[in-house]
Structures are given as C-alpha cells and as structure tokens.
Amino acid sequence: MTRKPESDYDVVVAGGGAGGVGAALGAACAGAKVLLVEKYGFLGGAATNAQVLAYCGFFQQGPNPIKAVGGAADLVLDELRRLGLNCDPYRSPTTMNWIILLEPEAVKLALDRVLEANGVDVLLHTRVAAATRTADRIESVTLAGMDGRTRVTAEAFVDGTGDANLSLVAGVPCRIGNAEGQLQAISSPIRIGGRDMSKPIDRAAIKAAFAKYNADGRWPSARDDGGIYTEVPNTGEMWWMMFDHPLPDLSSASFTKAERAARDAAHDYVALLRKEVPGFENAYLVQTGPQIGIRESRHPAARYELTGADLATGRQRDDGVAKAAWPMEDHSVAGKPKYTSIGGDGWASIPLDALRAKGLDNLFYAGRTIGADPLAYASIRVMGTAFATGDAAGQAAAQAV
Ligand SMILES: Cc1cc2nc3c(=O)[nH]c(=O)nc-3n(C[C@H](O)[C@H](O)[C@H](O)COP(=O)(O)OP(=O)(O)OC[C@H]3O[C@@H](n4cnc5c(N)ncnc54)[C@H](O)[C@@H]3O)c2cc1C
C-alpha cells in the first residue's frame, strides 16, 4: 500500500449507509487510511433515515437460514449484539424470508463505534458536492459541510451514496430507473407506540378499516393486505409500511410532494387504527422519516451489469466478490411487490466489474449503486447485500492504491 505523500487519504467513501459503511470497513481492514463522508448527522442510510428496520439479504431463502454475508457486516452485527440487539435470523410471517430486525438508535451507535474501532475517519453533516478528475481518474472531491467547502484528495473513491451522487458530480453517465426511466415506488415506513401489547395485531381489522378508508379517505393506500408490520426490537413499538407512492422523476418538487403526502397520510392512518382496530385505542405516531424511503434513483455506468438471468439461474463465477441471495423484489407497481427467487444454489455471484465504474479506474460502487439491470437491482439493493458489495468495493479500492 503506497499513498502519494500529497494525498490526504487512500480511500474516500461517500455515504454512510450499509454500502458505505461496508466499504469503509473493508478498506480500513485492508490497511487503508479511510475517510467516510455522510450528509446526515448519523450513519445507517435507509435503516436510520427512512425507518427501514430489517436487514435483508444476510441469508438465503429456504426453510433454514443459510448465511450469505460475513466480513465487515459481521463486525456490525457483533456491535449490535453488544448493544443488546438480537441479531438472530427472524422469519418474516408475511414473506417467509429470513431477516434481522433492527432498532434505529442501536444501529446509529453501533456504526459510530465500529468505524471508530477500525480507525475510519468520519465526517457527518458533510456532503460530497463536487469532484475533479482527469480522463480516467478522480483526483479529489469537494466536501460541503458545517465549515464551508473543503477539498480532499485520495487515491481511490467509493460511491456509497445510494443515489450515485458522487458518480453524478464526477460526470459518470447514469441511467434513471429502468430502460423506460420508470422508478420503483417510494414508501414511508412509520413507527407506532402506545399499542395494547396484550392483543395480537388484527390484520383482518386493519384490512377492513382500509377498505372503508380507501373509498373516501384523503390518502388511499395502494396496499390491500394491511401492510407489512413487525415489532421494533426492545421498544414495544410497531413498525408498519402502508404508504407507497409511484415516483414520477427525481426532481426536488416530486420529493417535496411525496414527503408532504407521506407525513399527512401517516397521521391519518394512525388515527384510523385508533378508531377502528382493537388494541390501538391509545396508539400514537412515534416517527416518520427523517426522509421518505427511496427504492431507486440513478444507476451509474459500471463495467458489468448483473442481470436478472444471472440471479434467476444462480450463476456462480470465479471473479465473484459478493453473494446476491435476496429474491428479486420488484416494486414497479406501488403496493404490489413481485418476488422472483434466486436460482441454482440460492445465491449468485456479484463480480468485481459490477463494482467498478466504466471509464474511471479509481471509482468503485457499493450498495445500490452497483451495476445491475432492473430485475437484478430488485435483489442487490437490500442492506445485507449492500454490506457485502461495500466490503468488496472497499477492499478493491484499498488494493488499487
Ligand atoms: C421503503 C423501503 C423498504 C425497504 N425495505 C428493505 C428491507 O426491509 N431490508 C433491506 O435490507 N432493504 C430494504 N430496502 C432497500 C434498502 O434500504 C436500500 O436499498 C439500502 O439501504 C441501500 O444501501 P446503500 O448503503 O446503498 O444506500 P443508502 O442506505 O441509501 O445510504 C446512502 C447514504 O449516503 C448518504 N448520501 C447521499 N448522498 C450523499 C452525498 N452527496 N454526500 C454524503 N453522503 C451522501 C445518505 O445520506 C445515506 O446515508 C428498502 C428500501 C425502501 C426505500
């Protein structure tokens, strides 16, 4: 490992979600000097900024949970266990897939601790705002933070921003959504407190309440199944995803409209539960957001695009650096997810080239920015897989120095 004396870091990672954290840990464990930059005041990505409170992709489908992700992700799970979270596989009664249930405050603290313990420098409240590059390399990024704008140089960079914000400012061509520009639906999971825990949640009563509400309520739900719900570990709160919306484009105007609608709907939906569903008489809304859940945005050009066929056949390759094991969960139609299983042995290889930018030698992708066609994307975007692609991207970035 040789860093040019004039470079500030070996590896700069943009974004502190599962992909970015995996990348920072992967690079640091490979001996690199690493900076991770995150625009919010906490790490975790969608798990902490959009209430996505289950890690999917850690295990293969099937009657028994077979682990598909380890490495950096295990450091995170160990830290979560130390904070009292049970990270054992939990079988979702709705989808029958294996997940790990999360509590957002534990995730924030665990990620702070694990990055500090592994020597990663972290800047919160800081956004990667610009990049300078030559024909085939990024040379530096401009960070916009509380102390204004600063320029940071590094030998390699990882885009773990989910929305490909580093790739965008570095001039990498990006596809928006699928070939027709259609984006997967956005959703707004919420947390609810005050439920009578002695009564089981009555899905039939929720469905009946919404059948009435949808006829003349202000925010009819696209779901007719009562939504997806679980219990937030160690809190007694209910986690509930009932509000899904198609997203027409990536404009700030569309996001503003969606954020306002989701917030308004959350209040309406909780009031409906209070009125109509036994056990919810004293229920209250604990939290929406901080932001709405974005399933899909930009896809930066990669050297290889993983395909739905790769996953459907469980294709295994010698150049594989991570495993995709979560079924392809497509949300093209709001509120009506469609699942396609992974074939073969229940997992498919993600090759290194899917984590490498086309045309830039020192830019790597982590998490949902990696190269994937629309069907494969519906699998690889989940957080367990994002840790794995992040870990591999971080290691590759460290080796590229
Ligand atoms: C409603 C919904 C439900 C889902 N359900 C599940 C589920 O149950 N389980 C599961 O595993 N997955 C689920 N997913 C998918 C999963 O949450 C995401 O695909 C996953 O979080 C991707 O991880 P990531 O690290 O690539 O991106 P993200 O989690 O989006 O993290 C990106 C990070 O980069 C930061 N960032 C962005 N731009 C910049 C910038 N310019 N500078 C600095 N920082 C920046 C962001 O603030 C964020 O922290 C769901 C997604 C949604 C929307």
Hey, what amino acid is at 324? Answer: A
Q: From 52, 138, 391, give the residue whose CB has the most ligand 1 atoms within 8 Å, as the site to mutate.
A: 52
Ligand 1 contact, 299 CB (< 6 A)? no
Ligand 1 contact, 16 CB (< 6 A)? yes
pLDDT mean across residues, the chain: 96
Alpha-carbon gap, residue 265 to 267, rounded angstroms? 5
Only one residue has tokens 């870990």, namely 391
Q: What is the pLDDT of residues 136-165, one digit of tens each?
A: 999 999 999 999 999 999 999 999 999 999
Q: Report CA(46)–ligand 1 centroid distance (Å).
A: 4
User: Could you name the CATH architecture of 9-181+296-400?
Assistant: 3-Layer(bba) Sandwich (3.50)
Burial of 95 (0-12, 13-18, 19+ CB in 10 A): middle
Letter string b/e over residues 10-33, b meaning 16 or more CB atoms within 10 A of that residue's CB:
bbbbbbbbbbbbbbbbbbbbbebb
Contact at 8 Å (CB) between 114 and 26? Answer: no
For ligand 1, atom 30: residue with the closest CA = 162
Q: Kindly give the number of the ligand 1 atom that is closest to the alpha carbon of 188.
A: 1
Cis peptide before 290 (omega within 30 of 0): yes
For ligand 1, atom 51: residue with the closest CA = 295
Residues of the chain with CATH 3.50.50.60: 9-181+296-400
Task: Residue 170: name the closest of 154, 186, 184, 181 by CA.
Answer: 154
Task: Residue 381: name the closest of 393, 370, 391, 365 by CA.
Answer: 370
* 18-29 vs 383-400: helix crossing angle, rounded to 10: 40
Q: What is the pLDDT of residues 33-46, one digit of tens each?
A: 999 999 999 999 99
Q: From 36, 38, 174, 365, give the residue whose CB has the most ligand 1 atoms within 8 Å, as the site to mutate.
A: 38
Ligand 1 contact, 298 CB (< 6 A)? no
Q: Report CA(359)–ligand 1 centroid distance (Å).
A: 25
Residue 267, CB-side half-sphere exposure with 13 Å CA sphere: 6
Ligand 1 contact, 335 CB (< 6 A)? no
Only one residue has tokens 């059948």, namely 211
Q: Report CA(195)–ligand 1 centroid distance (Å).
A: 28
CA angle 364, 367, 370 (to 5 degrees): 55
Ligand 1 contact, 323 CB (< 6 A)? no
Q: Residue 354 carries which DSSP code?
A: G
In Å, what is the CA distance from 210 to each residue of 206, 214, 268, 273, 335? 6, 6, 11, 9, 14
Q: Report CA(390)–ligand 1 centroid distance (Å).
A: 12
Ligand 1 contact, 294 CB (< 6 A)? yes
Ligand 1 contact, 97 CB (< 6 A)? no
Ligand 1 contact, 389 CB (< 6 A)? no
pLDDT in tens, the chain (401 residues): 456 667 899 999 999 999 999 999 999 999 999 999 999 999 999 999 999 999 999 999 999 999 999 999 999 999 999 999 999 999 998 889 999 999 999 999 999 999 999 999 999 999 999 999 999 999 999 999 999 999 999 999 999 999 999 999 999 999 999 999 999 999 999 999 999 999 999 999 999 999 999 999 999 999 999 999 999 999 999 999 999 989 999 999 999 999 999 999 999 999 999 999 999 999 999 999 899 999 999 999 999 999 999 999 999 999 999 999 999 999 988 888 899 999 999 999 999 999 999 999 999 999 999 999 999 999 999 999 999 999 999 999 999 98
Q: Residue 277 carries which DSSP code?
A: S
DSSP run (H or E) holding 11: strand 9-14
